[in-house]
A and B are shown apart, each in its own frame.
Chain A
Amino acid sequence: MPSEDAVGTATAPVVPGPGAGPARHRPRVELRSLPGLTAGVIALVVVLAAPALLPGFKLDYLETAISFAVAALSLNLLVGQTGQLSIAHAAFLGVGSVVAVELGSRGLAWPLVFLGAMLATAVAVAVVGVPSLRIRGLQVAIGTLVFQAFAIDLANSTGVLAATRSFNRPGYLQSSGHIYYLSLAVLALVAFLLRRTRTTRAGRSFVAVRDVEARAAAFGINAGRTKLLAYALSGALVGLGGALFAFQQNSLGSAVPFGLQPSLLLIAVVVVGGARSSAGIVIASFFIYALPSLAPSGLSKYIQVVFALFLILAVLFQPEGIGGVLKDLDRRLGDLVAGERERPNPRPMPTDPVEKAHSATALRQVPRPLAGRLPVPALLSARDVTVQYGGVQALQQLNLEVRRGEIVGLIGANGAGKSTFFNAVSGLAPVRGSIRYRDRELTTAPPASRSGAGLVRTFQDMGLVRADTVRENLLLSQGWLARYPAAAGILGLAGTLPTEKELRRRADMALDLFGLDHLAEERLGDLPYGTMRIVEIAAAVAAGPDMLLLDEASAGLTPEEANQLGYRFNALRDELSLTLVIIEHHVPLIARVCDYCYCLESGRLIAEGTPAEVVAEPDVIESFLGAGSLKPARGSA
């Protein structure tokens, strides 16, 4: 809810609250990051100087650790980012290694060998991940576990791991030091690519699938394809790790590194390292793969067991793992050198819709193939729409129509079918009948295509990713505007960077429009509920809709505040030329802002007309307020 002051006082200046100006923070931000920066530089120097510090033979263990760190990072793409679990990542590493040795022994140039291994492993992982197209749960993990067993059986019975085959390293990359630096370079590349992924459409889709899979379609995301992409991408990266491992070893000889136990250890590495932190995962890899070899021999068996125990303890007590500890440490040290960070006021700042007219116009400028004059006056029309869940008809033969530029209200008691209608329109409910939007049939169109067609909705109980920042959520909602291929985005190829920049600009304009700009970097889940609801509307607006479906935007507000929200609706319609369909319980709000109004009861339409007409209907009063309101009061009171 925007602050009341904003409304109706067109000349009121926007007064930033204390600590809201970014300029005041800038010098502190740099001081704050000093401890983290120092630690990073020291770590880098130590890592680069390792060949000089360690006797040659022990460098091998570090190299192995790096290969497994690459595998763990690629596993984290599934576990941490997408919420999928592979219990076969060591086997997939093995696939990459075997393919690399096969190709290398045939004399292929080593960069091509690496590419080949990546491609082959991507295919293998994607094949095992194919059921994720249909499954929302974690059963896919069982498929990977079965693959793990199959891969080992296959390796043992075919002899592909025979030590007689070798990678054939080129002459200029034979020395231990060279291999070490190549490994480091691969690790850095993988970490960099994963970091880039996070800031592209693919990365945002992964997180959306993890946290709000059932609603991902509302952001233009096809959940099944997104998961398959995650499997393939993870496969390519673990294949790279496998090729690196083969390069380091030159020949394989044993299935031991690719067995079930290493697969489980990789999961432990991801969890103990922390799903949100590549640095944490690399550190954890070092502990489990390099430390036992560098430590006295009697100690190594304890290290393994302790590390496995850490897996359980981390899930129980430190879900963000080493990465979380590092972040906490960084924050505390930052506070120590720079003083405690002021947190911005978590509520939207007052804004003036008229002054922000420029942002509003700019947000409207989206390329849409369907744009143009409409052949019919109705923008959205539902004919005989029925939705059935089991034995219950949630919607029965519903007919309604929404015209361009209208604000249409949908009222009715809880459970009357209002949200079900939104689900039908956005493709989240099984529909019989016809829903036409811009004179095209919507029911046969894929759910993920609807935000691109200009139909954007909010959810009654929030459809956004609470673990992400406000701005990330606004980027997520613009999914359909980021039309570049996933790989191009991750590699930062031509066109993708300007697109991302444009999305960011749009996100910032939408935040500005709703007085949320000072909260852009805050984690959504940390904000008050009312502010989250405004963020959700802002995210919907950022997607450049023609028609906005708002599900109980006023829930949790007092009747008075709900009334104020009405001004916001009017502004959205007038400044952004939007068509609005709003589900509301506050009838005074409906009466004031709506052009037309439909009332549902038990899945059926019982009245339609102007708000005044509808609210006057006896059926509506009875449905909405109970029959008692028309009859003389019963009872003895």
Chain B
Amino acid sequence: MNHLPVLPILLPLITGALLVTLPRLGLNAQRFISLGATVAGLGLVLWLGSMVLEHGRLVYALGGWAPPFGIVLVPDRLSVLMLVLTATLAVPALIYACRGDDDAGAHFHALFQFQLMGLNGAFLTGDIFNLFVFFEVLLIASYALLLHGGGTARSRAGLHYVIINLIGSALFLLALGMLYGLTGTLNMADLATRISNAPQADQPLLQAASLVLLVVFGVKAALLPLLFWLPRAYTAAAAPVAALFAVMTKVGLYAMIRVFPLVFALDQPLAALTAWQWLWPLALATLALGGIGVLGATSLRNMTAYMVIVSTGTLMAIIALGSTEALAAALFYLVHTTLLTGGFFLFADLIARQRGAAGDYMVVTAAMKDRRTLGILFCFGAVALAGLPPFSGFVSKAWMLQASLAEGAAGIFWPLLLGAGFLMLVALSRAGSKFFWRQSPERDHDMRADRVRLACVIVLVGAGLVLSLAAAPLMDYTRSVAAQLMAPGDYVRAVHEAGLRLTGGH
């Protein structure tokens, strides 16, 4: 049996455990190990990706225990997309952290690895209780990472973040208890079969379980009534941590598009699910609130946090349409927005480091030394984020508008998406003019931008250009991901056949 699918979980686990247990390892050695493991992880998920492209989907039974009783990892096209995205974001974020942010508290690198382990595990698993466990792994690592560096703002934001996520975990367990009580299984493929054959009397409880799951994933993804923890937490976190957190909200979205089409919609259209019908109005409200938040933000970091909310609202609204084309457009936008917002968290920190006490707050202060380089980069980033041509924001937005038109939802979706894009443009130009054009007459700040940090920001912001140049192959890929997600029967069959193979056909 090929053990490749489990390696993206084992590699960060072993690295993190080594970093914790090796006594008095110097910071440079820690950086070397952590960075080496993260880059190796990127290579690993690309290798796994090529295997998945070849076979369409792999089923890996942990310990050789046959599904549905054992835990399975099911890397498919969606998993690979998320894994590669996470690894691509993690490398620049970690390099950025190695320039000094990792020194602000203990065990940064170990926690970073555990966070990656949780993320990779959540994207790979085919067992819903295992999904819960990996959620916990990534959350526990994120609690400590959020507090990394200390300070009152982090303590306050951290308290909210931890409490709301603990309540989320409790609700997750309630939903799993209901599902297990009704079906007697936790394997997602087996759950799907049993739920589609469930007696009529069980339907209300199954619906309740699906709605509780919507709340749980909504907390993680920051859907409207459950998003108020996000701006404060993401603003307070250290920059590389916030950049990695850009992919954390996407875990909630991933869980939704993994669990709902497969487990609850095996024999009915996705749009007919009660949970899915709730998604559309909530997503639109999230989008509107995110747009207003972007305009009202007082610092660039805070603004980026609200842009994460805008992206959540956009993604949820477009997947709520439930068509294959809309899902493909959403996945393209997901890649774009994760890399760009992650890059902007780093960028805000880079700017803040050169403005002395003013930080990244939108106030006028003395001119920055590197204002030309940073200004041009900011202009590119802002254009890409707001969704103007020629960057990937434009490609994804145009595709989403097209997809919503085909579903007859353009009347509400177009004004909101374009309006939020406009508000983002206004807010970003206001920030740009405060940072780069208007200067107080004092002597210039003499801090130069750190070259390595600058390079990390350029890589992530430059992703906007790369994604738009390589749009055609990526669009084809997200289409194939969406097609695979919309055919949950194949998933069920693949897991079932793997179970038969392992038990010798009985």
A, B from the same assembly: no
